[in-house]
Amino acid sequence: MASQNDSGFKTLQASGAISAYKAVTIQSDGTITPSAGNADVGIGITQEDIADSGYGTVKLWSAPGTFMIQATGSAVTPGTAYAIVTGGYAAAVNGTFGPAALQALQAGVASNGIVLEFASKL
């Protein structure tokens, strides 16, 4: 049976524990894992911590509004483009990562796992 999602949020099952505010990719069995980065930007962002085999809410990239995402690496600068990297984090775009899927909306210090607001460029 076909269905359509008009809300922009979807409940999905995790394959492995996933923390809140990480980009996730849907697997062939329908479960989600953190996005691998590079060309894999995933389907959206987890909205809560999800236990292994547990269910949690994902804000799909098609949803309106901005996204809270865990960042890693260097400090975050508003207006700068960022990419999804290994583990489902946002990080600065460089020659290794792409595409530039996000734009930072607030500043943040260099702190792995800091949660900041981004706009989707997808």
Domain spans, the chain: 9-60, 67-120
CA 31 to chain centre: 15
Q: What is the pLDDT of residues 61-89, one digit of tens each?
A: 999 999 999 999 889 999 999 999 999 99
Q: What is the pLDDT of residues 19-77, one digit of tens each?
A: 999 999 999 999 999 999 878 889 999 999 999 999 999 999 999 999 999 999 889 99
CA 15 to chain centre: 16
Q: What is the gyration radius of the CA atoms in the chain, in angstroms?
A: 14
Question: What's the predicted TM-score (pTM) here?
Answer: 0.92
Residue 51 to residue 116: CA distance in whole angstroms: 22
For the record, the structure tokens of 43 come out as: 């389907």
Across 93-97, average pLDDT: 70
Decide: 85 and 98 in contact? Cβ < 8 Å: no
Residue 45 to residue 25: CA distance in whole angstroms: 9
